[in-house]
Amino acid sequence: MIDADWIPVPKPLFTVRICINKRLNTDKLPSCGGRGSRGVADALERLIMDERLPASVTRGPCMNNCLHGPTIKIQGADFISLEGDIGAAQLEKIMAAIRAEAMRRQSIVAPAEPPAP
């Protein structure tokens, strides 16, 4: 038994997929992994856990958007291209989209009860 104030994150309702592909760079083209997507994935995972959002982060292969990455796909929602900007403002923009998707999905899973007559 764990003696702590830790509460597990709810079962994920959706996935946030992040490209972590890194080119060998023999052609000198950018890649999501080369632009810091692994760090973005780690940061989003921590923020999602801290807020106990019902989402999981999946690190994946190329999504064919290397020139505009890091690239993130919120399952059932937005496709986000960070254009090389991995700053705090961009992380907040992504988290806002994740929160919105979590609220949308939770309202589908547990819709509000109709008002009493």
How does DSSP assign 68-85, residue by residue?
G-SEEEETTS-EEE-TT-
Which sign, positive or negative, has the C-alpha torsion 71, 72, 78, 82?
Answer: negative
pLDDT at site 1: 44
pLDDT at site 110: 64
Q: How far apart are CA 41 and CA 18, in angstroms?
A: 7
Tens digit of each residue's pLDDT, the chain (117 residues): 455 565 555 678 899 999 999 877 667 788 899 899 999 999 999 999 999 999 999 999 989 888 888 999 999 887 889 988 889 999 999 999 999 999 998 887 665 566 666
CATH number of 14-99: 3.40.30.10
Query: Could you tell me where the DSSP H helices lie in 1-117?
Result: 37-50, 88-109
pLDDT at site 28: 77
Q: Is 33 helix (H, G, I), strand (E, B) or coil?
A: helix
pLDDT at site 30: 86
Q: Which residue(s) pair with 73 in the sheet?
A: 17, 79
